[in-house]
Amino acid sequence: MTNEVIIIRRDDHVLEITLNRPEQGNALTPAMADAISAALRALDAETRAVLVKAAGADFCTGRDGAKLAPGTRATALDLRRLISDPVLDFYQVLRDVPVPVVTRVQGRANGVGCAIAALADVAVAADTARFQVPEMNHDIAPTLVMNALADRIPRAALARLVLTRDAVEATEAKALGLIGVVTGADTLEAEAERIVGQLAKNSVATVRAVKAFLSTAPETSFAARKELAALINSVAFAERFR
């Protein structure tokens, strides 16, 4: 499916989603978020991985969100329904994808762009990429982005990004735990394709088992993880040889 802002295609068991608004820095609109969410909710049974990438110089420079008309009076509940809930629901969809998600990041990844990168299972970034949570420069509390990042990076790293508003280089973003892989700008595409290509060769049962464990295990005790690991492993093997 192709439209003016999102390109979605399936290739060799991989769902590829391209942010296609390069002149605006791929700033995410509500329509873009809805298109991505719909594609992720409709994954077919043979999909092994999702690759999220962007056209142009930047990955995503932030959110081009819903705005109130001048003079409009709104309650806190109105603002939550219009602004907060749609963004948080979008992040939840990204979290709930049942197969591994890989992001390919170049240029700026600001605000929601930083969140999308961090919510991936493997974020691959060019060494020239920059990550920033700049909302407080506009006196906006970035709690929506913070919610996406809170279980991805340590508290000190989250405070560093949010309170300083500094743009951090890819190497530091990796050290903070925000992304997983840093590569040269000239090898970014090849490295992302290598990773999703490997995943495409696995069975659906295996990639879904690994994703299920990654999604659940960090919030459980050691004893519970032991049982979870045995259960998921057994189910995955049973599915492969059914």
The CATH number that applies at residue 39 is: 3.90.226.10
For the whole model, what pTM was predicted?
A: 0.91
Number of C-alpha atoms within 13 angstroms, CB side, residue 208? 16
DSSP for 89-122, please give it.
HHHHHHHH-SS-EEEEE-SEEETHHHHHHHHSSE
Q: What letter does residue 81 receive in the DSSP assignment? A: I
pLDDT given at position 3: 53
- pLDDT at residue 186, rounded to an integer: 97
State whether 155 and 214 are in the same domain: no
Instruction: Tell me: do 133 and 16 sit in the same domain.
Output: yes
Same-domain pairing of 81 and 135? yes
Q: Let me know whether 165 and 77 are in one domain.
A: yes
> Is 22 in the same domain as 98?
yes
Contacts 24+ apart (CB under 8 A), 81-88: 84/144, 86/30, 86/33, 87/33, 87/63, 87/112, 87/144, 88/144, 88/147
17 DSSP β-pair partners: 8, 52
Nearest CA-CA partner of 122 in 93, 142, 147, 97: 97
Q: What sign results for the dihedral spanned by CA atoms 152, 156, 157, 163?
A: positive
> pLDDT digit of tens for each residue in the chain (242 aa)?
445 899 999 988 999 999 999 999 999 999 999 999 999 999 999 999 999 999 999 999 999 876 666 777 888 888 888 888 999 999 999 999 999 999 999 999 999 999 999 999 999 999 999 999 999 999 999 999 999 999 899 999 999 999 999 999 999 999 999 999 999 999 999 999 999 999 999 999 999 999 999 998 887 888 888 888 888 888 887 887 76
Q: Are 131 and 221 members of one domain?
A: no
Q: How far apart are CA 226 and CA 202, in angstroms?
A: 24
Any domain includes 1: no
Range of the domain at 223: 203-240
Do 117 and 233 fall within a single domain?
no
**Per-residue pLDDT at 2:** 47
Do 218 and 118 fall into the same domain?
Answer: no
For residue 82 the two structure tokens come to 């219009």
Q: Give the number of domains in the chain.
A: 2
Residues 77 and 133 in one domain: yes
Query: Do 163 and 216 lie in a common domain?
Result: no
Do 129 and 207 sit in the same domain of this protein? no
